[in-house]
Structure 1
């Protein structure tokens, strides 16, 4: 496992000699723009295992992506080797509008230059591009979105708005977490859950999504969705187009749009997600 090869994989060309907030922000966005958030292993006859060497080989050598445990575990490895102080945290997310079991998402707390930052390169369309400050409950704007981290006793809630920025609009909870340190092995049971449970998006839907400078490209089931962020060219509006795909078209789309070539046939899937029986 080589740091230089990882940095090359994500297209980072700056200086990585000294840990700094600038370096943290740079490698965070580089990872998001280069490494897809995807679960294609689950739908092509494979199994995701929480082994750093396997994850490195998949993402760096084979130029694949992964879901949260893979992306954030490898990003943790990179940051520690770049000299950052990093802590793994567990979350409970709100994808089905009901919180699922604990440990269903892995995020990172990074301390640099005397401040604490939330990093997450494994959450897909609802995720943030730049690290978010954990030392404020104020608004943190990123392009057309605004985030905040609300605190209630020991629990922290990551929330966002896509409209009514800076006003008293509705906030959407993304996930909740505490600051208790965890290790990668703590997520093993939930890694299996996400590959077998009808309450997990990873089991119910074959997908691959990648952030782009002007928007996001997402494959899911038999669809290819292109989202363009608001700009002068779009009249300040979010634009989205969807193309329906046939089975035989999907491998070429994955190769051309995401740089992914699977070693086994993909079984496309886009089933409804069953909400968990218990709200955690």
Structure 2
């Protein structure tokens, strides 16, 4: 890995010692510059998890990826910067079916720094922007939402506030659950294959490309452009607009808004997901 080239890809400059400030800096810049996308699957290609291939795709070709790619490469960067990184496995709650996926459904990581544990995740479409503290179950407020890590039995649930009541209380929505058991990169290869071939996978059923913006989020799903805007000081709630796109408009927006130029034709896809058997 050319660390400096990777840092330049995500807009980071200057010395990056293994400190909390650096961890927050590179985490935020990564989610603001590297799209969450699965377009390889829908251009006739296959996602592979070898680190040199991930580096070539995301850094050299300026593409994005889904969790196995973005977090797989980002965990390597953190290790190269001198951080103590532990790879973790999570099960995602499908927002369309409400069902949790199987183990190794999601790749994320824990960083231990000065006796404190931090959850890092730059590969989840509607995830947090800055590392979350694993030392508290209290609400953690960030620019794009309010998050918490709630322990229950053997699992820790990552939850996001889905609405704000006038009194300021929170309505929590579960996004995924995980344990702190250390995992290896190769553990995720079967699930990476599953997500490219299963009718129960979001990534097989829907082509998507999404990026966090300072003002909200921009997403292409199938042939639809979805723009989410954070509330201004005079507004209380997030707003969302949806627009149908032609093939030419998709290509143009991918280039202008996401910096992505595909090497093969994209076949936009947005079909119903077949719910898998419940997993507890």
Class of the TM-score when normalised by the shorter of the 2 chains: over 0.9
- Partner Cα distance (1:239, 1:163) in 2: 12
Q: 1:69 to 1:49 in 2, by over 3 A?
A: same
Q: Aligned to 1:269, what secondary structure does the other structure show?
A: coil
Aligned to 1:89: 88
Asked if the contact 1:144–1:162 (Cα under 8 Å) also holds between the matched residues in 2, the reply is no
Asked if the contact 1:39–1:207 (Cα under 8 Å) also holds between the matched residues in 2, the reply is yes
- Partner Cα distance (2:74, 2:144) in 1: 26
Asked if the contact 1:222–1:246 (Cα under 8 Å) also holds between the matched residues in 2, the reply is yes
Q: Aligned to 2:252, what secondary structure does the other structure show?
A: helix
Matched, 1:267 2:267: yes
Aligned to 1:236: 236
Aligned to 1:214: 215
CA RMSD in angstroms, aligned pairs only: 1.4
Q: How does 1:6-45 map to 2 (within 5 A)?
A: 6-16=6-16, 18-45=17-44
Question: How far has the Cα of 1:236 moved from its partner?
Answer: 3.3
Matched, 1:196 2:189: no
Question: How far has the Cα of 1:279 moved from its partner?
Answer: 2.5
Matched, 1:255 2:261: no
Unaligned runs of 5+ in 2: none
- Partner Cα distance (1:279, 1:84) in 2: 33
- Partner Cα distance (1:218, 1:153) in 2: 35
Aligned to 2:181: 180
Question: How far has the Cα of 1:198 moved from its partner?
Answer: 0.9
Question: How far has the Cα of 1:138 moved from its partner?
Answer: 1.0
Aligned to 1:279: 279
- Partner Cα distance (2:130, 2:113) in 1: 14
Deviations 1:118-167 (A, max 9, x none): 00000012x00010000111111113521111112321111111323785
Matched, 1:223 2:224: yes
Asked if the contact 2:129–2:144 (Cα under 8 Å) also holds between the matched residues in 1, the reply is no
Aligned to 1:98: 99
Aligned to 2:118: 117
- Partner Cα distance (1:268, 1:162) in 2: 28
Question: How far has the Cα of 1:230 moved from its partner?
Answer: 1.2
Deviations 1:30-76 (A, max 9, x none): 00010000000000000001110000000000000000000001000
Unaligned runs of 5+ in 1: none
Deviations 1:205-229 (A, max 9, x none): 0010001111111011111111111
Q: Aligned to 1:98, what secondary structure does the other structure show?
A: coil
Question: How far has the Cα of 1:111 moved from its partner?
Answer: 0.7
Asked if the contact 2:162–2:173 (Cα under 8 Å) also holds between the matched residues in 1, the reply is no
State the TM-score, normalized to the length of structure 2: 0.95
Question: How far has the Cα of 1:278 moved from its partner?
Answer: 2.7
- Partner Cα distance (2:237, 2:161) in 1: 15
Aligned to 1:151: 151
Q: How many residues align?
A: 277
Asked if the contact 2:33–2:211 (Cα under 8 Å) also holds between the matched residues in 1, the reply is yes
- Partner Cα distance (2:153, 2:89) in 1: 17
Q: Aligned to 1:170, what secondary structure does the other structure show?
A: strand
